[in-house]
Structure 1
């Protein structure tokens, strides 16, 4: 069946809905716990996840680029889970990672700010003022993550197939609605084409992760496209040597059969703002 992605505001109760949905559909819920379970196979630790998970990356220093590489590796965990099928990707820009795939049902949960504060305070037995700070911080962080990394407005309703205001809709109604929507035949019809696209997305992400880890390439801006083993790298680097290094690194990634460069050299150097 279709892949489900979940976008949520803190305090909406989206996690409880997602757990019930996974139970009903017999889907795997790919949440923080699942990411932590799989992380060691990808060379990630809990400490690394705490630093990068759903946080906007930066690319100015070597350490920044390593953090971005870790974040890309987290995305590979989600993509590999999506490849297995029958999954719910909870947060982490899942719908943006699967952009262009026709078998993805994109769901978002929202609620008024004060309602979310009240629900969080009651759930975690914390002071309402603290809950207010946490909800506001979460909104800024998650919205900033999506805007920075995927260049999309997190709150734009056109980015989703289903949007629920959890203040006015019961959990059972939301679950029933999503279960019905995921069985739409149009999602089923798109599975074969989407599987091919997913393979290309995963390969491009693998190349991206290796380039970010490298000390030989300091790309100012880079875009990677993969299609049936052919990888095309475009963007800007700071020398011809970096172009050669980028092509060599990409060619060594498993699954890559050929590499084409659309990279340009520019003289920009990061400095003081």
Structure 2
């Protein structure tokens, strides 16, 4: 089996100044009212497609290493990664703790009423409201271009043909082992975590976008990170991007 992830793959390392600056720049751009109004006017006139891209979307199975792949791609291409920034924006928008919004992001809808009642009444964040705002935010980021989206159904929000769509997969056994290491939990707990996350993401896509995320025909490239490893996976995606969009 090919060596796939470094020992610390699942751990968050201290971000360097370059990464922090890139994230700050992207956050600043995305929250600019002036730019938002300009793009909204294009959306209103039905001209949004020509504004979007290039971008990469990475759909993933839990534990397949999409986050690491996105970061490596960002370093090579000089692009921005949009993942947790989405939740940060939503947290600011609803003025609620960011960690609570993980519950309504890519999870089963019935969790909302059981878990968030005490947090969001009377202004509760519903899945539909969340997805509506998510769609606007992803579109705005897509108009910025040179953005890598990890999850959140971004490929179903953005215009087809304006970006590269990726699906990262690996065997369940491999992903369970990765999750056990990442979260420092027993195998049984990691198995449950993998299954719950996969189900939540699958339900999210089916509920709001009426697609099956496991359908390979939805992607330009399906990569098995277990057999290919991070470096080869990144090489393949980078090659596709540079052939389409140039250096």
TM-score of Structure 1 vs Structure 2, range by shorter chain: 0.5 to 0.7
Aligned to 1:154: 213
Judge conservation of contact 1:44–1:70 (CA < 8 Å) in 2.
no
Q: Return the match for 2:134 from 71, 74, 94.
A: 74
Aligned to 1:50: 102
Q: CA deviation at 1:44?
A: 5.1
More strand by share: 1
Report whether the alignment pairs 1:184 with 2:243: yes
Report whether the alignment pairs 1:2 with 2:54: yes
Mapped partners of 1:168, 1:94: distance in 2: 26
Give the CA RMSD over aligned residues.
2.4
Aligned to 2:69: 17
Distance 1:120 1:106, change over 3 A: same
Q: CA deviation at 1:67?
A: 3.8
Q: CA deviation at 1:79?
A: 1.6
Aligned to 1:90: 150
Q: Return the match for 2:88 from 32, 37, 53.
A: 37
Judge conservation of contact 1:107–1:162 (CA < 8 Å) in 2.
yes
Mapped partners of 1:105, 1:43: distance in 2: 31
- Corresponding residue SS for 1:164: strand
Judge conservation of contact 2:57–2:150 (CA < 8 Å) in 1.
yes
More helix by share: 2
Mapped partners of 1:163, 1:44: distance in 2: 37
Q: CA deviation at 1:41?
A: 5.6
Q: Which runs of 5+ in 2 are unaligned?
A: 1-52, 114-121
- Corresponding residue SS for 1:5: strand
Deviation track 1:123-172 (CA, whole Å, cap 9, x = no partner) reads: 32210000000001111111111111111111010011011111100211
Q: CA deviation at 1:40?
A: 5.3
1:1-273 alignment, distance < 5 Å = 2-32=54-84, 34-39=85-90, 42-43=93-94, 45=96, 46=98, 49-57=101-109, 66-98=126-158, 100-185=159-244
- Corresponding residue SS for 1:168: helix
Higher relative contact order (CA 8 A, sep 6+): 2
Distance 1:141 1:76, change over 3 A: same
Q: TM-score, normalised by structure 2?
A: 0.67
Q: CA deviation at 1:35?
A: 1.6
Mapped partners of 2:193, 2:99: distance in 1: 21
